[in-house]
């Protein structure tokens, strides 16, 4: 059920409380029900938020919320991106903060469990579970768990590249691309290969507390 709406009764007034509760419902419940917004749904959501930012005569706190939502959409492309990032950070922090061979799959199995039980994109969860079932149990050290998540995220990127869920402004690349980490790439007999030790160094620096930007303003 949606929120109540006094505008449905004969009245000379509009009620901000009703408008805000409708906004809350549409933005926080209805439009974001799918955990991955892509294609036409993503375009519709962006357009809706951009129009609200332009024309909704909200209280300053509501306008700020809408502006933040608009820039969050543009800069971070939403929840799944954040979820990947959280788990990359956790695998790297676990590798930095404990004996390499102790509980090697601790973070990966937590991620597997979370995705299986909660991640709202069922198709994504099934794909992830299939990858996990194939090889996660072979991970024998914390550093391997960092690399497992990196290489399987790249497997997802490769599968989605060129598909209809791809944002043309943010193409799905094998990551990190050469401009982010030149030392991570080499060519062997004309074929691209990863320099894995350089990738490890890069991931540890990229997913480190020192690389987390703490300024919440734009
Ligand atoms: P994302 O792929 O979300 O990446 C987020 C950030 O992580 C990037 O901006 C980059 O900085 C960094 N990054 C990118 N690649 C790597 C890497 N290899 N290692 C470390 N860091 C990296 N969508 C589908 O359509 N089908 C699916 O089956 C599917 N499965 C998913 C499974 C899981 C567990 C998750 C969390 C998401 C899944 N998604 C799937 C969503 C999809 O992977 C993207 O998260 C979404 O399309 C948003 O992409 P993005 O361009 O913001 O970057």
Residues whose CB falls within 8 Å of the CB of residue 149, separated by 6 or more in sequence, listed in order: 87, 88, 91, 108, 111
Q: Given the structure tokens 């608009």, which residue do they identify?
A: 70
In CATH, what is the architecture of 15-76?
A: Up-down Bundle (1.20)
pTM, to two decimals: 0.77
In angstroms, what CA-CA distances link 204 with 10, 168, 209?
A: 62, 28, 10
What ipTM was reported for this prediction? Answer: 0.98
How far apart are the C-alpha atoms of 59 and 49, rounded to whole Å?
16
137-174: per-residue pLDDT in tens? Answer: 999 999 999 999 999 999 999 999 987 667 677 788 99
CB of 127 sitting under 6 A from ligand 1: yes
pLDDT at 75: 47
Domain ranges of the chain: 15-76, 79-211
More confident of the two residues 52 and 140 = 140
Pick the CATH number of 79-211 from 2.30.30.220, 3.40.630.30, 1.20.120.310, 3.30.70.1280: 1.20.120.310
- Report how far ligand 1's centroid is from the alpha carbon of 1 (Å): 32
**Cross-strand pairs, 170:** 167
Residue 203: is the preceding peptide bond cis (ω within 30°)? no
Average the pLDDT over 90-100 and give the result: 94
CB of 77 sitting under 6 A from ligand 1: yes
Q: 15-76 with 79-211: one CATH topology?
A: yes
Residues whose CB falls within 8 Å of the CB of residue 208, separated by 6 or more in sequence, listed in order: 92, 96
């Amino acid at each position: 059920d949606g929120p109540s709406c006094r505008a449905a009764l004969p009245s000379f007034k509009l009620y901000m409380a009703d408008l805000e509760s409708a906004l809350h419902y549409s933005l926080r419940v209805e439009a974001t029900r799918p955990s991955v917004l892509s294609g036409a749904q993503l375009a519709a959501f962006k357009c809706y938020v951009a129009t609200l930012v332009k024309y909704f005569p909200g209280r300053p706190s509501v306008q700020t919320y809408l502006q933040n939502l608009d820039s969050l959409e543009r800069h971070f492309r939403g929840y799944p991106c954040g979820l990947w990032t959280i788990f990359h950070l956790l695998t790297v922090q676990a590798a930095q903060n404990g004996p390499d061979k102790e509980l090697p799959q601790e973070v990966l199995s937590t991620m597997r469990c979370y995705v299986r039980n909660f991640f709202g994109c069922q198709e994504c969860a099934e794909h992830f579970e299939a990858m996990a079932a194939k090889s996660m149990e072979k991970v024998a050290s914390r550093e391997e768990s960092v690399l497992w998540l990196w290489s399987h995220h790249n497997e997802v990127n490769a599968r989605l590249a060129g598909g209809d869920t791809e944002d043309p402004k943010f193409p799905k690349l094998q990551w990190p691309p050469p401009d982010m980490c030149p030392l991570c790439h080499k060519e062997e007999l004309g074929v691209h290969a990863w320099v894995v030790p350089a990738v490890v160094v890069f991931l540890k620096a990229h997913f480190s507390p020192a690389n987390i930007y703490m300024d919440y303003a734009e």
